A and B are shown apart, each in its own frame.
Chain A
Amino acid sequence: MDSSTVTNGYVSGSNLERVLRAGHFAVTGELGPPPKRRQPCDPKKAALLKGYCDAVNITDNQTAIVRMSSISAGAIAFQEELEPVIQMTCRDRNRLAIQSDLLGAYALGMRNVLCLTGDHQSFGNHPAAKNVFDLDSIQLVQVVTAMREDCIFQCGDVMKGQEPRFFIGAAAAPFADPLDFRPYRLAKKVKAGANFIQTQLIYDIPAFVEFMRKVRELGLHQKTYILAGVGPLKSPSMARYMKESVPGILMPDELIQKLELAGKPWAGKSKDELTKDEKKERAQAWKQEGIKICIELIQELKKIEGVAGVHVMAIEWEEAVKPIVEGAGLYPRPEIPAPATMDAVQE
């Protein structure tokens, strides 16, 4: 990998970095602090991810709905023995707040950060808010890289004491428009210093194979770790919604049909015609098929050169992570000991 590393071979020493550098196929998960509640994350949900993910993304007011802050929830995730990937968006913070929050996150032991532009506030529960967007995601990657590599703040001032040494991530949307430009925009993120990439949800394998072909042509897979985004589908309507309404997601009709087929015993009946138990059975059949599809997708993704892992997004369905990770042959997760020198740094 291109990034400079400290003497022990790691830039951050995070578990995610150790797993990836050891050549293992990595698994990251996602834990969103719930909206309208005070607690950071349901301990039961956290427990469902423990042992099945190398690190867990803690979202940052995702979909622009106010929740407990990513860094606070990340600190609590340690108590659940999960390694957090702090998501940091540019929507709510200017360069001062971003850097100060990152210093705090590092001091609290966080070692992974995912740099995002952030969903526009018009989607969330405070559409009247003033947004910031002082930086964009690529500039944010540059800022965090410069803090680590050059020990400087964005203004150029040199830091005193321990610099924050993050394993720096960024997102990629392989199928958003303009399609031709997407591999090049990823190249900009890598050039800015992204150590790992988590992609938008992948359902269309041939399209992703084509994207990865371009990524390899640009040599990006040798400079960054690319984790393909996967997520289990709960129902045919969820799949159709993604196909029709979520930008940057390609949903093959074949997958929708597979889910429909799973619900076939109950087909042709409206909601009112089904008993409570029948509805439950149908939902269960869809979910089982959704998990099966997700496992098959992971198996296809593993075959693609340059895919270093998967980012499993089972939002509000954390129970699915265990069968997916096990079913894909990715359990148990590797345990790579933390380097002694990095421990010293962390103290």
Chain B
Amino acid sequence: MIIAEQKNLNEIKNLIGDAENVLVLGCGTCVTVCFAGGAHEAAITAASLRMATKLEGHPRQVTDLTVQRQCEWEYLDEAAEQIQQADIVLSLGCGIGVQAIVEHFPSTWVAPGLNTTFLGLPTEQGVWMERCAACGDCILGLTGGICPIARCSKSLLNGPCGGSENGHCEIDPETPCAWQLIYDRLKSMHRLDALLEIQPPKNWRTSRDGGPRKIIREDLRLPAEES
């Protein structure tokens, strides 16, 4: 899922600027599960903003609302009235949510209340870790199901580099060395031979390097209306 974390209140206050009528819009999907932007966090953020702006002598009208998914326009329609009435929508969705609102409500000013951080999973209560870089050309089949693009600090395809020590990456003792994990996993599965092959340079065109990405599924598209 998409992992995000809240921006600090000062940054949020700056983003809101002079707006009088603020809608804090939560999202019921990924960011709810990672405790960054669900109904609970939206209510707390709204209350914090009410309190902070009151203390500063310029109280604003801050309300909150949460939709099932900000990243699909049909769910945003449910909040259309509140979105259009607000001077600003503070989205507690991921970056996709923010842009979905902007595209669907072009006359509304929208600001992000979260930093969208990575694609990952919770590894224990209160800990989330990155697992996928969405490179568009999955190589997990070569690496025992552990992604070096997302999890090696240098995205090496022929790792590990000389900075692997005691299972950790040299850039941070809290970061596991992805290539040590790959090595251990392939060894335990008796598949170490796979590491003797030189992996060729990656085709990054499928990643962000090929420009903004788009998928068109003709089999799913609706037939064009006859003009």
Contacts and interface: CB of A to CB of B under 8 A. Distances in A.
Interface of B: 153-167, 170-171, 177, 180, 183-184, 195-196, 198-202, 204
Contacts of B198: 138-139, 142, 188, 191-192
A216 interface: no
A138 B183 CA distance: 17
A133 B207 CA distance: 14
Contacts of B200: 139, 142
Nearest to A247: B165
Interface of A: 90-91, 95, 117-120, 122-123, 131, 133-139, 142-143, 154, 171, 173, 176-178, 181, 184-185, 187-188, 191-192, 200, 247-248
Nearest to A91: B154
Contact of A139 (B153, B157, B161, B204): B157
A78 to B, nearest CB: 30
A178 B156 contact: no
Contacts of A200: 162
B183 A181 contact: yes
Contact of A187 (B155, B164, B180, B196): B196
A173 B162 contact: yes
Nearest to B184: A178
A184 B195 contact: yes
Nearest to A199: B162
Contacts of B184: 178
B195 A133 contact: no
Contact of A248 (B154, B155, B162, B171): B162
A119 B156 CA distance: 13
Nearest to B153: A120
B171 A123 contact: yes
Return the 4 tightest CB-CB contacts between A and B, nearest first: A173-B162, A247-B165, A138-B158, A136-B156
Contacts of A171: 162
Q: Max chain B CB contacts within 10 Å: which of A119, A136, A171?
A: A136
A176 B165 contact: yes
Contacts of A187: 196
A122 to B, nearest CB: 5
A248 B165 CA distance: 7
A90 B198 CA distance: 17
